[in-house]
Structure formats: C-alpha cells, structure tokens
Amino acid sequence: MLTTLATVLAGLLGAALIAMGAMVFAKPQNAAGFGIPHTPVDDPAFRSWLHVKGAREIVCGVFVFVLMLVAPTSVLGWFMLTFAAMPVSDAVIVLRSGGPKATAYGVHAATAAVMAVTALGLLL
C-alpha cells in the first residue's frame, strides 16, 4: 500500500514537473521569478535561460515516468531522493538572493520534503 501511494505521488511530481516546464514556454512571465526578486522577465536573454530551465523540468518529469515503467521502485526512490536536492538548492538560492522566505520554505523546501517522503515510501 505504501509503495503504491508513493508511486502515485512520484507520478504526480513528474506531472507537475512537466506542467511547470510547459508553463515556462506558455507564460514565461508567470514562471520567471522562482522567488528571486528583481528578475528581468522582459530581457530576451533571460527568457532563453528560462527556456533551458523549462526544457530540463520537462525532461526530468518524463524521466520519472520512464523509471515508473521500466525500473524497480527502489530505483525510482533513489532518483526521487537524489532529485530532492534541486528544490533544496532552489530554496537556498531564493534565501541568498533576498527573496521571500514564504517562497523558499513554502514552495521549494516543501517540494523537497514531499519528494523525500515519496522517496522513502518507495525505498521502504
């Protein structure tokens, strides 16, 4: 039961990554800040970097589904646990740039926590 619930959560996280990556292309002004103040959303060069981020999020989301299809749950669990480092680093970046603590903790750190709990559910 725990493995099934964790697998469903992993799928939801993968879908969320794909959706966030797609949003970067559809509405970059909504996806640009990540909690970092004074983000130059109208700068074409910045938008190019944003597209790189969006593409990577989509690929990571697809990778979750590939692992769900072809790998044992423990492999998916280790991936999710390792991948949880990304939102942790996002939270640190937001805090170091003077961004809102609510975004750093409420979005990025909370995402990392959900990923870590999902990973544990897949590894136990």
Alpha-carbon separation of residue 53 from 57, 70, 72, 78, 120 (angstroms): 6, 26, 28, 22, 27
Mean pLDDT (the chain, rounded): 90
Sequence letter at residue 79: F
Indicate the pTM of the whole model: 0.87
Q: 113 Cβ partners below 8 Å, 6+ apart?
A: none
- Which of 70, 52, 73, 50 is CA-nearest to residue 62? 70
- The average pLDDT across 19-36 equals 79
Q: What does the pLDDT look like over 5-25, one tens digit per residue?
A: 999 999 999 999 999 999 988
State phi, psi for 123 to the nearest 5 degrees.
Answer: -90, -20
Query: What length does the chain have?
Result: 124
